Structure 1
Amino acid sequence: MRRVEMAALALLALAGCGDSEDAPSANVASPASVPTATPSVVASRVPERLTVTTNEPFYSVAIDRDVLTLTGVDMPRRTLRVVNRHVAVEARAWEARDDRGTIGVRVVRAPCEDDMSGAPRDFTATLTIDGRATVRGCGFVGTPAPPPGEASPVAATIPARFIGRWNRDAAACATPAASIEGVRVTPSELWFHESVGVVKRVEPIGPDQIRVTAAYEGEGERWTATQTLRVEGDRLVIVTDGRPFSRIRCPQ
């Protein structure tokens, strides 16, 4: 098992022994379009925030949970409120309305290629505007991947709001040498207990969330890992291979 995965599992196991509020709560809504007697949360591989684009006609839909923002060539910007949704493991669908009508968006976790630039995308999407014909498009999170052969503008520096020392609680912050649960984040490195990752790529995927790819080394092993970092007030949430853990910010 890679070292960063072992560290994440160990931190998760230790987190289970403390207050329940330390674990980040699920952030996926129950499917409103399918009422049940006992609603359940679906862990979807399609995020609640992403962008869908189509070509000929050229549309762009920015999806931010309960709000969809539609723009297009020779058309006014529209902001629509979500009135219905469906959530599945590999897909999400939204229905949103404004005073001009209704749009529907369906996004599936399946590779897609922009049919004009050839740029790869992570999601396949369809868009229906005011009951007209459905248009096929692609979806992406954050900064889209560039067309083949073009350099990516993605930076390799972690933003300032993520920088600092993070640990389980105030006591662990006061005695960092006695804790194996601390995390130190610098602009170019991620430090865990007995392992350090040198940042190679940073992708913004929201105002307080980034995806970091780092080359790790620890205890004679080397590996590369991609992790998601999210700041929630004074708490940092790190997700490795779908497994989250969180730490509070320590005083400088």
Structure 2
Amino acid sequence: MKKTFLMVGVLALGLGACGDSGTPAQRSGDTADTGAPIPVEPDGGIGDGATPLPEPGGTTPVGDDKGMDEMEPTIPSALRGRWGMNANDCDASRSDAKGLLTIGDQTLKFYESVGTLTKTAERDATRLRGTFAFTGEGQTWQRDVVLDAQDGNTVLIRREYGDGAAPGPFRYERCAS
């Protein structure tokens, strides 16, 4: 429906530009005249400086102010790695590292659950806000999560929002390699 409406609008705009009505200044595209035609961009949009719509199946560059569904769902590299709530969580020989958080390109791995990034609302080099689909202990749930690297990417602050979200911020320190 939207595609048809857009095509009809472009055709109408094109037909209007083909007519010989108006003054010579209007026909020449002189923008000083109030009846000047609106330029058409190569993608069919009007030449008003608006960002063209993304191509179907394409990705949106990081930092673009697109909506939550349009951003590429990946976690910034500065946030990836192993993070512990205390020094024992970073000890790879321990099997009880309940405060360990391992962040991949699309996942948050906790002691007994895994969250997969499904939508990104905000993202820059050291911060992410997105929706994660979690599974763990036979249950599934979704959570809006903010990950924020601080102090030269040595500290991570994690916050959750929404129904059933854990209270308060959680502070992690980056584990040594």
Larger radius of gyration: 2
Q: Which letter does structure 2 place at the counterpart of 1:164?
A: G
Report which of the two has the higher share of helix: 2
- 1:185: which partner in 2? 103
Task: Calculate the aligned-residue CA RMSD, in Å.
Answer: 2.5
Q: Give the one of 165, 170, 173 matched to 1:245.
A: 170
Aligned counterpart in structure 2 of residue 202 of structure 1, from 120, 140, 143? 120
Q: CA deviation at 1:159?
A: 1.2
**Is residue 143 of structure 1 aligned with residue 26 of structure 2?**
no
User: Which among 63, 76, 80 is matched to residue 159 of structure 1?
Assistant: 76
- Contact 2:76-2:123 within 8 A present in 1 as well: no
* Consecutive aligned runs of 4 or more in structure 1 exceeding 4 Å deviation: none
> For the residues of structure 2 that align with 1:199 and 1:206, how far apart are their CA atoms?
15
The total of aligned residue pairs comes to 108
* Structure 1 residue 181 displacement after superposition: 0.8
Task: Tell me if structure 2 keeps the 8 A contact 1:167–1:248.
Answer: yes
Task: Give the structure with the larger strand fraction.
Answer: 1
User: What are the equivalent positions in structure 2 for 1:10-159 lying under 5 Å apart?
Assistant: 143-145=65-67, 152-159=69-76
Structure 2: runs of 5+ lacking an equivalent? 1-63, 162-166
Ranges in structure 1 where 5+ consecutive residues have no aligned partner? 1-141, 147-151
User: How far apart, in 1, do the equivalents of 2:138 and 2:88 lie?
Assistant: 31
Query: What secondary structure sits across from 2:169 in the alignment?
Result: strand
Partner of 2:142: 224
With normalisation by structure 2, the TM-score equals 0.54
What SS does structure 1 have at the residue aligned with 2:149? Answer: strand
Q: 2:88 aligns with which of 171, 195, 212?
A: 171
